[in-house]
Amino acid sequence: MVDIATLATLFIAVIASAFMSWSIGAGSSGSTPFAPAVGANAISIMRAGLLVGILCLAGAVLQGQNVTEAVGQELIIGEELSAQAAAIALSLAAALVAFGVFTGYPIATAFTVTGAVIGVGLAMGGAPAWEKYAEIGAMWILTPFIGGGVAYAVARFLREYDSPSVSMSLVGAVVGAMLVNIEFAVLGSNGDGSTIAAELSAFFTDTTMLGISLVTLVAAGLAGGILYQRTRTDRVTAQRRFLILLGSLVAFSAGGSQVGLTIGPLLPLLEPFSISITLILFGGGLGLLIGSWTGAPRMIKAISQDYSSLGPRRSIAALVPSFAIAQTAVLFGIPISFNEIIISAIIGSGYAVGGSSVSRRKMGITVLAWIASFVAALTVGYGAYTVTSLI
């Protein structure tokens, strides 16, 4: 039997979680994926906002389990988050996000939620999960270099290769190969999830690396061939449609990556109610969808003005590594900031044409804000739980 005080605390945690879902859907995760396509006049703002909400919801349900379980169960060893701890962590993270929205400071949701959960977990008496922290730290540190480096290489390749049709088709082939190798919860047995390549390989032969490799090569060939033909027929239209496809993949990945930040801390609290993980993910994804539909169009309009100066090729170069990095984070259950992914990719593609439009001062402030978000959330979370436990 759950007492009234626990239910009231759980209610506060759910409200904070709902606000987090809305703010993420309305913010960078809901607006950034389609901003390049809007900037290139490939899709209207309202259609982009509608589509991104649906894709975020789909990504949350089909790919959100790994990050959700990591945030809710793997950041602290030996202690499960209580209703009080979850309420403090989510309320603190939501307050920091709201502070960033109203003041204009780039507060990263992944940094605040991760720091808050670790803070309250340590205050409860849990032990640090050093192995998980090493994974998260490595991902956070390497993302700017890998994302920016790959975006730079792709932008240079698209810009300098003699045949635009061939260069675009090769990038499309890489995206096709990645697409059949991302994990979906509805595939596979025992609820472990699987990839399209693995399932097709198992259907026709044994699930071996050779079979998966063959399926990957076929997918890459089909994607590259279709894009090659479309580019030769009408390069501008092909680029715009490719942008829409990439935006869709990034939006889907955002749902799978970011939903865990909103509902992860609630996971231990909902176990006594025997609610399925799919239903929990759907609830978090629904918050992302509502945020995307109500707040993303305005953000897309604003951000697309920045992307319009990038051009289709630089936008494509920025979205390709963003998709790859987000899917890597989903696969390993690592909470990651979508702002960090996108900003580093934009900077990398910018240097490919002689310099980035993002100033070093602005980037320095952004990085400091990210670090401060994590440290503040961890410290205040630890202190808030300690104080409230004594009252």
A 10 A CB-CB count for 2 gives 11
| pLDDT for the residue 193 | 79
* Phi (first) and psi of residue 192, to 5 degrees: -85, -15
Q: Residue by residue, what is the 3-state secondary structure of 198-266?
A: HHHHHHHCCCCHHHHHHHHHHHHHHHHHHHHHHHHHCHHHHHHHHHHHHHHHHHHHHHHHHHHHHHHHH
Spatial distance between the Cα atoms of 191 and 50, rounded to a whole number of angstroms: 30
Residue 203's CB: how many other CB atoms inside 10 A?
10
Give bridge partners of residue 76 from the DSSP assignment.
Answer: 128
Distances (CA, A) of 16 to 11, 23, 156, 324: 9, 11, 43, 30
Quote the tokens at residue 238.
């092909």
| Cα–Cα distance, 68 to 66 (Å, whole number) | 5
Domain residue ranges in the chain: 4-152+233-390
Out of 50-54, 95-99, 376-380, which region has the weakest mean confidence (pLDDT)? 95-99
pLDDT digits (tens, 9 = 90+) for 309-359: 677 888 888 899 999 999 999 999 999 988 788 878 888 887 776 655 556
Say if residue 2's pLDDT is above 60: no
Q: What percentage of the chain exceeds 70 in pLDDT?
A: 90
- Asked if 285 contacts 59 with a C-beta cutoff of 8 angstroms, the reply is yes
Note if the pTM is more than 0.85. yes
| Angular region, 193: left φ>0, alpha ψ -120 to 50, beta rest | left
Length of the chain: 391
CA dist 193 → 248, 249, 252, 389 (Å): 21, 18, 16, 40
Copy the structure tokens of residue 48.
């982009």
Residue 387 reports pLDDT greater than 70? yes
**Over 70: is that where the pLDDT of 147 sits?**
yes
